[in-house]
């Protein structure tokens, strides 16, 4: 009984627990059901899709678009809007069918946006219909630059503009240094739209488009063959192909049959080939072996892998007839992201049900007139343009109504499909991989058509396979440049000359063999313009000769860099003249050298005077005598007539160096002056073109030259005579203008130099040199050989071979010396003697500094005493610094009693028995200049005392000196310095007073 009660109690407890747990679930379900009943209905956003419904491509795209809408709302289950896709058929790319489908979608379905149509030609008309009705048109496949979102604001390109491919194509050509290419494009809005961008991009890397060939989309095989034959006749072998897959497949098949997919040919295709590789048949892929193409790069993320797997499974399930399931392309990802962008934009803008305003037209003629204007189109367009997210193709972000350029993948078609050989990004350009730190700025190994081991050079020397025809001028004179000889026994001509040897050597160092043959052109003597026209009219492949590079000629042909000197000038006769000017003695030295020499003369004399003044009587005297001595001593060294005896070794060293400088200077002056007085100088008869015009003289020129029109513009029309040889030049100049000759010959510098090397005496080149670019080899416009030949000329110029060729035809440079020696001697400049002046300047300055340092050191005690006396003295004017300098100057002006010169004078006076020799001088002694006694002339300065005065002598003695002398005890003869003895002589002479008491 108890057990039964227990079981019943447990059963009731479990039932209660179940009811407790079930109640929250029932309540939540009730809330959800109530919310769903009360929630507003989901707004439907009608989106039209125009595609080729019956083709496998259309089936694939329809499946991808449907999956995109389903995936978006699976990821956003709470969306208030829902995109409804309404599909219409474009009838295999028919423009009219696409336009009709757009009208039907807008008028009958009232769609709020349109996706498609597939091609740019179809989209061009649909876009205008959408702009009229304010219905945004989003295209993931209309890539032609001719469609611009700026011109049609309701057009949104959710793909990449074809013009963005121009930069990677140019980068590929630049990576292999190809500088010319022919562009082959589809004759449609898709094909022609890329040409302006491609031309600019190639120009940015130094390349150019040599030809543009349009291929009609419906071209027959015969038409394709004719276009390919025309391309094969061009020198370039680099072809850039911009076509859609259907035209490209037939084009490359015909190129393969004509042998243009073999060694030496280069084909670079845009993404119209690589992006649609799944649409080519195996036979078409086989014809494209070696082609390099581009395609937008899509990173293989987990989302991409998941979508690709689901897409294949769904396509097999829903469309079993489409059995060829291939890898998705970038266009499929762009289409997927387009649906996501519309769904996100509709949700963000809160687009309600469609509403169209009926147009107010009186008599609608067609359905186009009955199309209304969408009330929600503008809001939806703004929201789409501002939508950003991470899509399958990468970052979805619109700038100016279109996607920004992604990274491009560079592929090489080999075997059954493309092989990735590199990448291109706007930031890094060409790289082998997309790693940020990748330093490889080149592509991987590429197998070109014909499987060559090396990279093709990109052009052919002779498209026909025959040797190049090289036309050469036929000249009557100056055959050193080019000489067309007589016909030999073999029927050929012996063509020689400087230009021929230069061209032969250049061809030898070309990086590839070149076969050519010379053909004389007989009409070149009349005008070289006809010779140049042989190349522009394709009658000759190259012109080699003395052809000057001019701007007018370069409008028709291309020139290599010049291989001779440039410019043209004139040659005139000269007349002998001897200088007879009265001032010719000044001409040997330049003004700067005259002034420098004068300065160093004065400086050297001053240095010698400073060193010798205190120790040499010959350098003392009155101020004017000493100033004169400075100049006299220095300038007397010109003729080595200086007789002053120097006592100091310092001054002797200064004079030795200076005399050496003077010797070289005078010798050079004498030689130059002698040359000017004796050598006959050759003066040109004419020095200026204006002088020729003023006198009305005749001038000459070489036949066939390009400078004839230039001379006529200068004013010589009607007064010009033509010549062909150097002998005729000399004869005409010798006769002169008045005797049937000419006063001047105008010609190019190479000819004039050759003429002067043969006729040294009597002629000279004068006047300005008019600039031209020298001689160059002539090639057709756009010829790739021009750059290689120019590089070969530079290479030849850096070797001795070019100098050897010039020596062979023109002789040793400067072999004729009479022309240069007859011009006369040039004057001497300071630069020629700068080293000598530097040496003597350094020596003189060093000796002066050594002397001053020695003087201040030896006389430091006396200088201090003189400073103290000068500063503390009652008399005198000026600041203490001025008085200190005066004290130093007075002390310097005194004789140096320690010098050997003055000691010898004292000894001689003692031996001669003077009053100073018989007794010891005292401070109380009468001065020999003061004449004590009744009959003496007190206060008079003897005439011989004046000789000892200097510019630094002082006329008045201070009272402090007299007081100090008065109280000082008389020194003994042994204690009295010699300087005081000597100084008493000059102090008495200067003061003119009696001796201190």
Contact 614, 575 (CB under 8 A): no
Among 6-10, 38-42, 185-189, 204-208, the minimum mean pLDDT is found in 6-10
Q: What pLDDT score was predicted for residue 878?
A: 66
Residue 87 neighbours by CB distance under 10 Å: 18
Give per-residue pLDDT as tens, 201-237.
999 998 889 899 999 999 999 999 999 999 998 888 9
Indicate if the alpha-carbon torsion angle 271, 276, 277, 280 is positive or negative.
negative
At 681, is the pLDDT very low, low, confident or very high (cuts 50, 70, 90)?
low
Q: What pLDDT score was predicted for residue 195?
A: 92
Q: What pLDDT score was predicted for residue 880?
A: 74
DSSP state letter for 775 = B
Q: What is the maximum span of the chain, computed from C-alpha positions, in angstroms?
A: 186
Higher pLDDT, 439 or 516: 516
Q: Output phi, psi for 777, to 5 deg.
A: -85, 145
Q: What pLDDT score was predicted for residue 699?
A: 92
Give per-residue pLDDT as tens, 117-126.
988 889 988 9
Residue 26 pLDDT greater than 60, yes or no = no
Give per-residue pLDDT as tens, 282-303.
899 999 999 999 999 999 899 9
Which CATH code for domain 468-564+783-810?
Answer: 3.40.190.10
Can you list the pairs that 911-919 forms with residues at least 24 positions away whose Cβ atoms lie under 8 Å?
916/981
Which residue in 31, 50, 141 sits closest to 102, CA to CA? 50
Q: What pLDDT score was predicted for residue 329?
A: 83
Q: Output phi, psi for 373, to 5 deg.
A: -115, 125
Q: What pLDDT score was predicted for residue 140?
A: 93
Which range is most confident: 478-492, 579-593, 821-835, 950-964? 579-593
Residue 879 pLDDT greater than 80, yes or no = no
Q: What pLDDT score was predicted for residue 339?
A: 96
Residue 651 pLDDT greater than 50, yes or no = yes
- The helix (run of H) or strand (run of E) holding residue 570 is strand 568-577
At 916, is the pLDDT very low, low, confident or very high (cuts 50, 70, 90)?
very low
Among 177-191, 423-437, 780-794, the minimum mean pLDDT is found in 423-437
Contact 502, 566 (CB under 8 A): no
Which residue in 402, 368, 363 sits closest to 128, CA to CA? 368
Which range is most confident: 24-28, 42-46, 685-689, 860-864? 42-46
Higher pLDDT, 793 or 885: 793
Query: What distance lies between CA 255 and its chain's CA centroid?
Result: 42
Query: What distance lies between CA 306 and its chain's CA centroid?
Result: 52
Q: What pLDDT score was predicted for residue 55?
A: 84
Q: Are strands 557-559 and 778-780 parallel, antiparallel or unpaired?
A: antiparallel
Residue 945 pLDDT greater than 70, yes or no = no
Higher pLDDT, 558 or 977: 558
Higher pLDDT, 591 or 985: 591
- The helix (run of H) or strand (run of E) holding residue 122 is helix 120-133
Which residue in 700, 740, 699 sits closest to 723, CA to CA? 700
- The helix (run of H) or strand (run of E) holding residue 138 is strand 137-139
Residue 330 pLDDT greater than 60, yes or no = yes
Instruction: Determine the topology of domain 162-299+408-431 in CATH.
Output: Rossmann fold (3.40.50)
What's the rounded mean pLDDT across residues 708-730?
90
Contact 672, 588 (CB under 8 A): yes
Q: What distance in Å separates the CA atoms of residue 112 and residue 109, rounded to the nearest whole number?
A: 9
Is there a common fold for 162-299+408-431 and 468-564+783-810?
Answer: no
What's the rounded mean pLDDT across residues 739-765?
88
Q: Output phi, psi for 234, to 5 deg.
A: -85, 155
Q: What distance in Å separates the CA atoms of residue 122 and residue 195, rounded to the nearest whole number?
A: 20
Q: What pLDDT score was predicted for residue 959?
A: 35
At 931, is the pLDDT very low, low, confident or very high (cuts 50, 70, 90)?
very low
Rounded to 5°, angle at Cα 880 from 879 and 883: 90
Q: Are strands 373-374 and 429-431 parallel, antiparallel or unpaired?
A: unpaired
At 991, is the pLDDT very low, low, confident or very high (cuts 50, 70, 90)?
very low
Instruction: Please tell me whether residue 961 adopts helix, strand or coil conformation.
Output: helix
Q: What pLDDT score was predicted for residue 579?
A: 57
Q: What pLDDT score was predicted for residue 103?
A: 92
Contact 411, 172 (CB under 8 A): no
At 901, is the pLDDT very low, low, confident or very high (cuts 50, 70, 90)?
low
Which residue in 318, 188, 181 sits closest to 243, CA to CA? 188
What's the rounded mean pLDDT across residues 721-747?
91
Residue 535 pLDDT greater than 90, yes or no = yes
What's the rounded mean pLDDT across residues 330-343?
94
Give per-residue pLDDT as tens, 795-844.
999 989 998 998 898 887 655 544 444 444 556 888 888 888 899 899 98
Q: What is the mean pLDDT of the chain?
A: 80
What's the rounded mean pLDDT across residues 77-105?
90
Tokens of 445: 């190994």
Q: What pLDDT score was predicted for residue 170?
A: 95
Which CATH code for domain 43-159+301-359+367-403?
Answer: 3.40.50.2300
Q: Output phi, psi for 767, to 5 deg.
A: 80, 175
Q: What pLDDT score was predicted for residue 818?
A: 43
Contact 249, 293 (CB under 8 A): no
Return the bridge partners of 115, or none: 49, 138
Residue 296 neighbours by CB distance under 10 Å: 24
For tokens 């010797």, name the residue. 663
DSSP state letter for 970 = P
Return the bridge partners of 51, or none: 89
What's the rounded mean pLDDT across residues 654-675?
86
What's the rounded mean pLDDT across residues 68-87?
93
Sequence spans of domains, the chain: 43-159+301-359+367-403, 162-299+408-431, 468-564+783-810, 571-577+682-772, 584-678
Query: What distance lies between CA 492 and its chain's CA centroid?
Result: 48
Percent of the chain with pLDDT over 70: 79
Among 414-423, 617-626, 775-784, the minimum mean pLDDT is found in 617-626
Query: What distance lies between CA 579 and its chain's CA centroid?
Result: 50
Residue 785 neighbours by CB distance under 10 Å: 23
Contact 207, 170 (CB under 8 A): yes
Q: What pLDDT score was predicted for residue 813?
A: 64
Which CATH code for domain 571-577+682-772?
Answer: 3.40.190.10
What's the rounded mean pLDDT across residues 466-490?
82
Instruction: Please tell me whether residue 318 adopts helix, strand or coil conformation.
Output: helix
Give per-residue pLDDT as tens, 544-556.
999 999 888 999 9
What's the rounded mean pLDDT across residues 148-170?
92
Rounded to 5°, angle at Cα 150 from 146 and 153: 110
Q: What pLDDT score was predicted for residue 492?
A: 67
Tokens of 535: 């190349």
Q: What pLDDT score was predicted for residue 273?
A: 92
Which residue in 625, 657, 605 sits closest to 838, CA to CA? 657
Residue 445 pLDDT greater than 60, yes or no = yes
Among 16-25, 82-91, 351-360, 620-629, the minimum mean pLDDT is found in 16-25
């Amino acid at each position: 009984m108890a057990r039964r009660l227990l079981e019943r109690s447990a059963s009731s407890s479990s039932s209660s627990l179940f009811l407790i747990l079930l109640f929250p679930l029932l309540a939540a379900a009730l809330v959800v059901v109530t919310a769903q009943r009360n929630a507003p209905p989901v707004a439907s956003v009608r989106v039209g899709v125009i595609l080729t419904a019956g083709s496998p491509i259309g089936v694939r795209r329809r499946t991808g678009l449907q999956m995109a809408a389903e995936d978006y709302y699976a990821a956003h289950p709470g969306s208030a809007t829902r995109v409804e896709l309404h599909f219409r058929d474009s009838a295999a790319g028919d423009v009219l069918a696409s336009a009709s489908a757009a009208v039907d979608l807008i008028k009958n379905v009232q769609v709020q946006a349109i996706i498609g149509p597939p091609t740019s030609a179809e989209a061009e008309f649909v876009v205008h219909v959408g702009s009229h009705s304010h219905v945004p048109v989003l295209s993931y496949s209309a890539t032609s630059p001719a469609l611009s979102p700026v011109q049609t604001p309701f057009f949104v390109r959710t793909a990449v503009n074809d013009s963005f491919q121009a930069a990677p194509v140019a980068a590929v050509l630049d990576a292999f240094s190809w500088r010319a290419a022919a562009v082959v494009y589809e004759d449609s809005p898709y094909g022609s739209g890329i040409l302006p961008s491609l031309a600019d991009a190639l120009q940015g890397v130094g390349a150019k488009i040599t030809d543009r060939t349009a291929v009609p989309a419906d071209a027959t095989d015969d038409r394709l063959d004719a276009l390919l034959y025309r391309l094969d006749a061009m020198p370039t072998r680099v072809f850039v192909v911009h076509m859609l897959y259907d035209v490209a497949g037939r084009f490359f098949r015909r190129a393969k049959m004509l042998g243009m997919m073999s060694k030496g040919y280069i084909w670079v295709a845009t993404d119209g080939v690589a992006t649609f590789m799944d649409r080519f048949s195996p036979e078409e892929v086989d014809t494209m072996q070696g082609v390099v193409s581009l395609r937008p790069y899509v990173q293989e993320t987990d989302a991409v892998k998941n979508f690709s797997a689901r897409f294949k499974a769904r396509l097999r399930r829903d469309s079993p007839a489409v059995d060829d399931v291939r890898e998705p392309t970038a266009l499929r990802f762009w289409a997927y992201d387009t649906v996501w962008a519309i769904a996100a934009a509709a949700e963000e803008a809160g687009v309600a049900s469609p509403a169209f305003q009926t147009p107010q037209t009186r008599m609608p003629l067609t359905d186009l007139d009955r199309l209304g204007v969408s009330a929600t189109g503008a809001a939806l367009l703004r929201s789409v343009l501002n939508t950003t997210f991470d899509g399958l193709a990468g970052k979805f972000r619109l700038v100016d109504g279109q996607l920004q350029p992604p990274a491009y993948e560079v592929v090489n078609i080999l075997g059954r499909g493309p092989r990735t050989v590199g990448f291109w990004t706007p930031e890094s350009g060409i790289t082998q991989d997309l790693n940020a730190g990748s330093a490889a700025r080149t592509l991987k190994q590429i197998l070109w058509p014909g499987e060559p081991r090396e990279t093709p050079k990109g052009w052919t020397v002779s498209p026909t396979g025959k040797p190049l025809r090289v036309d050469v001028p036929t000249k009557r004179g100056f055959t050193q440049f080019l000489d067309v000889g007589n016909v030999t026994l073999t029927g050929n001509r012996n063509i020689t000359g400087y230009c021929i040897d230069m061209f032969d050597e250049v061809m030898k160092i070309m990086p590839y063999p070149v076969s050519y043959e010379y053909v004389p052109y007989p009409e070149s003597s009349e005008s070289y313009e006809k010779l140049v026209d042989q190349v522009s009219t394709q009658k000759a492949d190259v012109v080699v000769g003395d052809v000057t590079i001019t701007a007018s000629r370069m409008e028709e042909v291309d020139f290599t860099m010049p291989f001779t000197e440039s410019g043209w000038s004139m040659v005139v006769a000269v007349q002998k003249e001897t200088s007879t000017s009265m001032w010719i003695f000044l001409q040997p030295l330049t003004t700067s050298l005259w002034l420098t020499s004068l300065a160093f003369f004065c400086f050297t004399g001053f240095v010698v005077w400073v060193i010798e003044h205190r120790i040499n009587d010959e350098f003392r005297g009155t101020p004017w005598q000493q100033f004169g001595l400075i100049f006299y001593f220095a300038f007397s060294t010109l003729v080595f007539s200086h007789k002053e005896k120097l006592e100091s070794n310092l001054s002797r060293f200064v004079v030795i160096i200076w005399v050496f400088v003077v010797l070289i200077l005078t010798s050079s002056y004498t030689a130059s002056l002698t040359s000017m007085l004796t050598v006959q100088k050759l003066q040109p008869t004419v020095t200026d073109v204006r002088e020729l015009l003023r006198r009305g003289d005749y001038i000459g020129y070489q036949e066939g030259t390009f400078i004839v029109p230039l001379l006529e513009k200068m004013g010589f029309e009607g007064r010009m005579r033509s010549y062909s040889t150097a002998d005729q030049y000399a004869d005409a100049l010798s006769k002169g203008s008045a005797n049937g000759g000419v006063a001047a010959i105008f010609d190019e510098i190479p000819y004039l130099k050759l003429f002067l090397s043969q006729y040294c005496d009597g002629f000279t080149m004068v006047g300005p040199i008019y600039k031209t670019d020298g001689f160059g080899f002539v090639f057709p416009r756009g010829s790739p050989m021009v750059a290689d030949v120019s590089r070969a000329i530079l290479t030849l110029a850096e070797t001795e071979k070019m100098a050897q060729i010039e020596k062979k035809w023109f002789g040793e440079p400067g072999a004729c010396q009479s022309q240069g020696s007859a011009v006369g001697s040039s004057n001497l400049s300071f630069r020629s003697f700068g080293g000598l002046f530097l040496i003597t300047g350094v020596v003189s300055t060093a000796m002066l500094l050594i002397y001053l340092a020695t003087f201040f050191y030896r006389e430091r005690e006396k200088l201090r005493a003189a400073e103290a006396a000068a500063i503390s003295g009652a008399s005198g004017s000026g600041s203490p610094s001025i008085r200190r300098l005066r004290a130093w100057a007075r002390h310097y002006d005194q004789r140096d009693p320690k010098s050997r010169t003055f000691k010898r004078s004292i000894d001689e006076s003692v031996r001669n028995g003077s009053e100073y020799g018989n007794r010891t001088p005292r401070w109380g002694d009468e001065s020999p200049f003061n004449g004590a006694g009744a009959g003496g002339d007190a206060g008079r300065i003897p005439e011989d005392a004046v000789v000892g005065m200097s510019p630094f002598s002082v006329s008045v003695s201070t009272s402090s000196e007299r007081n100090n002398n008065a109280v000082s005890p008389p020194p003994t003869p042994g204690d009295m310095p010699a300087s005081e003895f000597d100084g008493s002589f000059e102090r008495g002479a200067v003061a003119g007073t009696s001796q201190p008491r």
